[in-house]
Every structure is written in C-alpha cells, then in structure tokens.
C-alpha cells in the first residue's frame, strides 16, 4: 500500500509538472498539457481524461481544466480537438495552419476537427467525485450550456442520416491516429494528387520524428494525407455539411461512437440533477439510438463490431481486429452472445491477452506492429474504457467483474514497472520490464488514468 502511495505521488507530480498558466477571456487559467516534450497544447480527450484524474487531488484544477477547454468552443458548438497555447511552436501543424479564428472567441486558436467526445463523461465524473458542493454546482452550471451546444452540433452535422452513429472525417478525430482500421480508406487517397506544396510543408516542418524514432510514428505518406485533409476542409471553409459529403475519409467509428453513447447518458444525468427532465430525455434517447446502432455493427463473419466506411456514399464495414472492438462494452451495447465472444477474444494469447494487455491491434493480425503508435502498443486510455466497459456488464456474466479488476491491476503494474510513458510495448520478448515504455515520458494521461485506477481499486 505504501508502494501505491509513492506511485500516486509520482502521478500527481507528473500532472503538476505539466501544468501551465494561460490567459483565456482575460482570465488566467491553469491547464495541464499532455507532455512538455511535444504535445504542448490542450487536446480535448486528453484534457477530459486529465480532469478525471485531477479531481482526486486538486478539485479546483479539475474545474479549471474543463472550463479552459470549453473556452475554445466555436460559435457553432464545435469543440475542437486542439486548443493551441500561444507562444508555443513545438507542435506541427501550427495554430495558423487551420485558419479557424473566425469561428472562435477572443482570438483563441484551435484546430478545426474534433476528438472522441469524452467531455460530458469527464464533467459527470467530476460531479460524482468532487466534494465541494457549492463549487461543483457552479462548475456544472458554467459548462452545461457548452456541453449541450457541442452535443447538438455533433448530432446535427455528423449524423445527417439520423442513424445514431456519428461520422468522423479525419483519422485524428478517432484519437487512434494511424490505426490499421484506417488503412483501406487512406490508401484510396492517391499520393500523386496531393499538391507538392503540401508534401514540401510536411517534409520541412513535421516535428514528431525529430523528437522521436520514426519507426514508432506514422509514416510520411500518412502524414501527407493527414495534412491534405486539413487543407481540403479549410478550402471548404470548415462547412461540415460540405465536408461530410466531400471528404475522402468518412467513417462511423465504433470507438468514437461508444464514447458518444456514454457521453449522452452522462449529459442526461447532469441535466436531471438540475431538474431539466425534458432536455435529459432528449440526450437519453440519443444514447439509446446509438446503443442500438452499435449493436448492429456486429459482423457475424468476423465476430466483431466493425467501423463503417461511409466515404462519399459508401457503406462498407471495416473488419480489422483492434481493441476498438471492445469499446461497445463501454456503451452497454453488447448482447449476451456478443459478450461471450468478446471475452473469449480478450483472453486469447495470440490476439489480445499479452504480457501488457490490451494491445491496440491483435498481435496475430498481419499489420500488427509492436512499436508503431496505434498499430500495436498498449495505451492506458483504451484500457480504462475496456475496464469500465467490463464493469458495466458485471451482472450479466460471472467473472466479468474479476476480469475488470485483473485488467486494472495489470495496467497499474505496467505503469509501475516502466514509468509514465505515453504507450507501452505489449509483448514479452525477453526485454526488461522497465524498458517497455514508448512515446513521450512524463505523460499526463498515463498519470491521470493511474490515479483513477488506484481510486477505483482502493
């Protein structure tokens, strides 16, 4: 237990070290950046995860984190995936590349795409864990209108078919940037049609591989495509009615939508505590339609939930065995039969049950790569969703609760053995345990999730 106290203190120290002060709406705010080494701005789903960790040690900081995040909201409701910090140039693409200040307030610079919508979930988590009744009420009152506007924006622009599943238009919106789930769609974007000035810009200015081994990062070709998409959306003036129709990348992502389901439940729950039954019903209904739609993405032939490629009128399932297949657990969208199959796959040593589970891609898949970003390594954030997802099914299957506890314990162990890395090598290949950390060290998400897991298991 003393050991855990030391680990907890280290996690808090990581969050403290990554705290910076910015001025938003003329007011100074403290916010936590993912990493001092490279990710020096505020990312939506990192920030939400960080706030959930912070509430256990510094409630004020947790409130600040989300209040400063929603300050970057566009007037049409979009909450972008990056809120840029002024005076920082260590990240590529730079703030000015997006040309979005016409949509934001007070000259705040942001990206133009979004992230997995974890925000309402974080707000609800803070509501449930903060102890200062007055301050938490003030906090929720402050952020609720932004949460509703964000959810309404997503529903309006990202679900034009009204099918319950939102469409993402850039691999970065999935949070799992270079997952093999996106290979088939990205490969249709012909590199020859990408203008040479875009390629030259990437060649000249891309920064992640200066700090890092390029074997661990997305390939140059993928980067050309990422930036090409941004330039395309900018040419469409960030008009999402057009972007959804014209983007060469458009997907109903099962990870993004599982979070969307849970976020609508969280928002409905918060509205209920304020006695707003009518609005609460609206979001609850959205959660239900998403849950049903997720259940229906199950593919009998592949024994998994599948993302759906909806690019330019397509409707094709993407059957790639990644850890995203476990995400509908988090949304409560699994049937008993699907649950049995998922539990089986989760326990297979040649798929997902590795030394440090759960790898981002099944290890027997032909494009599994233990070093490269979302193509193999284990990430604490996705483990957190799987743990919570298993807990959600605990009454439906014996042993599920035990499985959740075991995965939580192994995730804690992974961080304890190696440190607060961004992601981890999932395989036992004889390398020393303390050499399994990858990406950037002193990573905020990892620290915040560890705090949540320790809190959950105490």
Q: Which residues are catalytic, by number?
A: 177, 422
Q: How far apart are the first and last CA of the chain?
A: 10
What gap in Å lies between CA 35 and CA 378, rounded to an integer? 18
* Closer by beta carbon to ligand GLC, 59 or else 173: 173
As measured in angstroms, the least distance from the Cβ of 197 to ligand GLC is 24
List the one residue out of 343, 323, 448, 330 whose CA is nearest residue 391: 330
Helix axes 277-295, 254-273, angle to 10 degrees: 160
| For ligand GLC, the closer CB: 125 or 298 | 125
Distance separating alpha carbons of residues 256 and 174, to the nearest angstrom: 6
What is the C-alpha to C-alpha distance for residues 288 and 290, in angstroms, rounded to an integer? 5
8 Å CB contact between 373 and 217? yes
Instruction: Report the nearest approach of ligand GLC to the CB of residue 42 (Å).
Output: 10
Q: Compute the least distance from the CB of residue 112 to ligand GLC, in Å.
A: 15
Beta bridge partners of 309: 251, 316
Q: What is the footprint of ligand GLC within residues 14-33 (CB under 6 A)?
A: none
Burial class for 2, CB neighbours closer than 10 Å (0-12, 13-18, 19+): exposed
Short-list 70, 61, 60, CA closest to 25: 70
Closest approach, Cβ 258 to ligand GLC, in A, equals 15
In whole angstroms, give the CA distance from residue 46 to residue 322. 21
Minimum CB separation of residue 175 from ligand GLC in Å reads 4
Subset of 414-433 contacting ligand GLC (CB under 6 A): none
Pair 317, 180: CB distance under 8 Å: no
Among 124, 177, 253, 265, binds ligand GLC (CB under 6 A): 177
Closest CB 205 distance from ligand GLC, rounded Å: 16
Q: Least separation, in Å, of the C-beta of 278 and ligand GLC?
A: 34
Min separation Cβ 26 and ligand GLC, Å: 27
Residue 298 or 420 with smaller CB distance to ligand GLC: 420
DSSP 251: E
Measure the CA–CA gap between 252 and 317, rounded to whole angstroms.
Answer: 9
Element (H, E) at 31: strand 27-32
- Site membership for ligand GLC, residue 226 (CB under 6 A): no
Q: Which is nearer to ligand GLC, 43 or 157 (CB)?
A: 43
Give the contacts of 25 (CB within 8 A, at least 6 positions apart).
71, 105, 106
Query: Do 207 and 35 meet the contact criterion of CB atoms below 8 Å apart?
Result: no
DSSP 8-state code for residue 193: G
Q: How far is CA 69 from CA 124, 402, 442, in A?
A: 15, 36, 21
Cβ proximity to ligand GLC, 298 vs 384, nearer residue: 384
Minimum CB–partner distance for residue 45 and ligand GLC (Å): 6
Question: Which CB atom, from 90 or from 405, has the smaller least distance to ligand GLC?
Answer: 90
The number of residues that bind ligand GLC (CB under 6 A) is 7
Q: Do 295 and 258 touch, CB atoms closer than 8 A?
A: no
Whichever of 45 and 233 has its CB closer to ligand GLC, that residue is 45
Query: Helix or strand or coil: residue 359?
Result: strand
Site for ligand GLC in 34-53 (CB under 6 A): 34, 39, 43, 45-46
**338 vs 411 by CB, closer to ligand GLC:** 411
Of 447, 297, 425, nearest to 361 (Cα)?
425
Q: Which is nearer to ligand GLC, 113 or 400 (CB)?
A: 113
Task: For residues 443 and 133, give the distance between their C-alpha atoms in angstroms, rounded to a whole number.
Answer: 30
Residues facing 24 on adjacent strands: 27
**Contacting residue, 175, 359, 380, 437, with ligand GLC by CB under 6 A:** 175
Q: Taking the mean position of all CA atoms in its chain, how far away is CA 5?
A: 28
Q: Residues in the site for ligand GLC, rule: CB under 6 A? A: 34, 39, 43, 45-46, 175, 177
């Amino acid at each position: 237990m003393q050991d855990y106290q030391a680990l907890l203190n280290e996690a808090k120290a990581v969050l403290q070290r990554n705290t910076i002060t910015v001025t938003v709406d003329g007011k100074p705010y403290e916010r936590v950046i993912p990493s001092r080494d490279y990710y020096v701005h505020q990312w939506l789903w990192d920030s939400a995860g960080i706030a959930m960790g912070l509430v256990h040690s510094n409630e004020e900081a947790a409130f600040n984190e989300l209040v400063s995040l929603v300050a970057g909201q566009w007037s049409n409701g979009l909450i972008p995936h990056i809120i840029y910090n002024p005076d920082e140039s260590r990240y590529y693409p730079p703030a000015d590349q997006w040309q979005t200040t016409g949509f934001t307030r007070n000259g705040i610079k942001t990206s133009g795409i979004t992230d997995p919508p974890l925000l309402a979930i974080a707000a609800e988590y803070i509501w449930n864990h903060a102890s200062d009744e007055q301050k938490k009420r003030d906090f929720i009152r402050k952020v609720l209108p932004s949460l509703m506007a964000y959810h309404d924006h997503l529903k309006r622009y990202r679900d034009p078919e009204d099918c319950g599943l939102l469409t993402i238009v850039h691999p970065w919106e999935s949070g799992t940037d270079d997952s093999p789930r996106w290979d088939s769609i990205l490969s249709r974007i012909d590199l020859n049609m990408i203008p040479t000035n875009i390629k030259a810009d990437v060649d000249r200015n891309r920064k992640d591989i200066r700090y890092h081994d390029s074997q661990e990062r997305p390939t140059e070709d993928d980067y050309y495509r990422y930036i090409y998409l941004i330039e395309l959306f900018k040419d469409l003036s960030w008009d999402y009615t057009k972007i959804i129709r014209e983007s060469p990348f458009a997907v109903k992502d099962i990870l993004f939508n599982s979070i969307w389901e849970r976020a609508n439940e969280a928002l409905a729950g918060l509205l209920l505590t304020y006695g707003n039954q009518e609005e609460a019903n609206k979001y609850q209904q959205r959660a239900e339609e998403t849950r049903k739609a997720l259940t229906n993405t199950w593919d009998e032939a592949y024994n998994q939930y599948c993302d759906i490629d909806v690019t330019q009128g397509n409707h094709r399932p993407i059957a790639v065995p990644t850890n995203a297949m476990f995400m509908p657990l988090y949304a409560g969208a699994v049937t008993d039969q699907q649950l049995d199959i998922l539990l089986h796959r989760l326990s297979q040593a040649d798929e997902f049950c590795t030394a440090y589970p759960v790898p981002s891609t099944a290890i027997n898949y032909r494009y599994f790569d233990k070093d490269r970003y979302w193509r193999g390594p284990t990430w604490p954030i996705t483990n957190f969703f799987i743990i919570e997802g298993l807990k959600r099914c605990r009454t439906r299957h014996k042993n599920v609760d035990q499985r959740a506890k075991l995965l939580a314990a192994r995730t804690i162990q992974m961080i304890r053995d190696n440190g607060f890395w961004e992601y981890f090598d999932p395989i036992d290949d004889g390398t020393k345990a303390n050499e399994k950390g990858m990406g950037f060290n002193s990573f905020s998400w990892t620290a915040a999730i560890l705090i949540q897991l320790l809190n959950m298991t105490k």
